[in-house]
Amino acid sequence: MEENALIIGSETVRKHLSVQDVIETVEKTWKWYGEGRIIMPPKITTDMSSAGVDGWFNTMPCYIAPLNTAGMKIVGGFAGNHALGLPYIKASLVLISPETGLLRAVINGDWISDMRTGAQPAIMARLLAAKADIITIIGAGQQGYTSLLCMSKVLDIKEVRICDISKKAIETFISRFVDFPFKVVPFENRETACRGSDIIITATTANDTLVKDAWVDPGTLVMTMGSFRETDYDLIRNADLLAVDHPEQALHRGNFKELGESRELTIETFDIVVPYILAGKSRRGRRKGTDRICAQLVGMGCLDVAVASLLYNRILESGDEVLKADMSK
Ligand SMILES: NC(=O)c1ccc[n+]([C@@H]2O[C@H](COP(=O)([O-])OP(=O)(O)OC[C@H]3O[C@@H](n4cnc5c(N)ncnc54)[C@H](O)[C@@H]3O)[C@@H](O)[C@H]2O)c1
């Protein structure tokens, strides 16, 4: 019996998927997760730094019942990649048949990972932001870029303030948005950039206090997306509402991790879990225009696997020739 698996490279991914496809799939998949129709064990992190390799990667398996698909994302951050002309975040995806375990596809996961990461703040902002006129983004790298790209599809933005320790990253970021209907303004000072913003996003590789409580106005939605700490503790403690995509994982990674480890934050502390809102299981969202919401989007592997499944079906339907490997040989 032939065991054909598709080997899908980056160009093929981009040919068959649009940014809008990813936004729609992320929203649907969050809803399915909230409905309990996805099995997704916690991601496992392999941190290689203690062995002298400056990098880490997560393995993120899942089964998605509404798509009858199973698979896994393998994604990591590799500190030396920029010097090699590679992105810091590198992702691969595998899809298998849930019934037989046969390998269906091995996919370059970079574009899918970057776009689904950007889709998250776009959907969360649509649900939770009081306003989206002024958006501050700290971190002008790949995830900062896809966040704004996806937000531009669903929000009516007037001004974007961009901060980064790298001037080159800021220049590249601005050059990617010249034709968009909002202005993108570079800010050296993070405090000035944050004050008066409706939405603040952090998407950096830093482990630092990039946003302080005192800089965040009433009504602001702050969304942290980096893998380490990005705000001061007071912002988390004094927020009117805390929001997450995944309560358990939010305690083990990113901005809430340290307060999770000291048990100051627990899964019960989170007021808003976006998949539960989309599933209609929780009506808790923003209560009033002045609520300051501190949110963390830690990222779920089922989002990537769902997008990969859409891609796989589109390729089969298109009849396009793609590389196949007979895994029985
Ligand atoms: N939450 C998710 O779903 C998700 C998904 C993918 C990546 N990530 C995380 O997002 C973060 C960004 O990833 P990326 O692919 O955009 O990396 P990147 O290397 O492309 O960009 C990171 C940017 O952060 C900037 N930066 C670093 N320290 C800074 C500081 N102190 N102040 C301001 N800017 C600073 C860098 O100069 C760089 O431009 C990483 O921590 C990554 O692990 C999260």
Q: For the domain made up of 4-112+302-326, give the CATH fold.
A: ornithine cyclodeaminase, domain 1 (3.30.1780)
Q: In whole angstroms, give the CA distance from residue 257 to residue 261.
A: 6
Residue nearest atom 34 of ligand 1, based on CA coordinates: 164
Mutate which of 82, 143, 146 for ligand 1 pocket (most atoms within 8 A of beta carbon): 143
Whole-model pTM: value is 0.96
Cα-to-centroid distance, 122 and ligand 1 (Å): 17
Q: Over pLDDT 90: what percentage of the chain?
A: 97
Residue nearest atom 37 of ligand 1, based on CA coordinates: 166
Distances from the Cα of 305 to the Cα of 192, 234, 267, angstroms: 39, 36, 25
8 Å CB contact between 74 and 92: yes
Q: In whole angstroms, give the CA distance from residue 129 to residue 124.
A: 8
Cα-to-centroid distance, 78 and ligand 1 (Å): 11
Q: In whole angstroms, give the CA distance from residue 329 to residue 321.
A: 20
Mutate which of 205, 207, 244 for ligand 1 pocket (most atoms within 8 A of beta carbon): 205
Dmax over CA atoms of the chain, in Å, equals 65
Atom of ligand 1 nearest to the CA of 77: 43
Pocket (CB within 6 angstroms of ligand 1): 77, 88-89, 117, 138-144, 163-166, 169, 203-206, 208, 210, 225-227, 297-299
Let me know how many helices (H) and strands (E) the chain has, helices first: 11, 16
For the chain, the straight-line distance linking the first and the last C-alpha, in angstroms and rounded, comes to: 10
> Could you tell me the residue ranges of all domains in the chain?
4-112+302-326, 119-299
pLDDT tens profile 165-220:
999 999 999 999 999 999 999 999 999 999 999 999 999 999 999 999 999 999 99
Cα-to-centroid distance, 166 and ligand 1 (Å): 12
Mutate which of 90, 204, 230 for ligand 1 pocket (most atoms within 8 A of beta carbon): 204
Look at residue 167 and give its three-state secondary structure.
helix
- How many other CB atoms are there within 10 angstroms of residue 150's CB atom? 26
8 Å CB contact between 161 and 202: no
Cα-to-centroid distance, 32 and ligand 1 (Å): 28
Residue 38: per-residue pLDDT = 98
Instruction: Indicate the Cα dihedral angle 11, 16, 21, 22, nearest 10°.
Output: -30
Residue 278: per-residue pLDDT = 96
Cα-to-centroid distance, 223 and ligand 1 (Å): 13
In sequence order, the 6+-apart residues with CB closer than 8 A to the CB of 61 are 40, 41, 70, 71, 72, 301
Quick check: 307 pLDDT over 70?
Answer: yes
Look at residue 304 and give its three-state secondary structure.
helix
pLDDT tens profile 22-53:
999 999 999 999 999 999 998 999 999 999 99
pLDDT tens profile 109-145:
999 999 999 999 999 999 999 999 999 999 999 999 9
8 Å CB contact between 183 and 253: no
Closest CA to 148 of 110, 175, 188, 108: 175
Query: Mean pLDDT, the chain, as a whole number?
Result: 96
Q: For the domain made up of 119-299, give the CATH fold.
A: Rossmann fold (3.40.50)
Distances from the Cα of 119 to the Cα of 23, 26, 30, 164, 245, angstroms: 5, 7, 11, 21, 12
Residue 283: per-residue pLDDT = 67
Which helix (H) or strand (E) element contains residue 242? strand 241-244
Residue 282: per-residue pLDDT = 79
Cα-to-centroid distance, 52 and ligand 1 (Å): 21
Least confident of 199-203, 248-252, 313-317: 248-252
Q: Which residues pair with 103 in a beta bridge?
A: 96
8-state DSSP, 299 = -
Phi, psi of 311, deg, nearest 5: -60, -45
8 Å CB contact between 106 and 92: yes
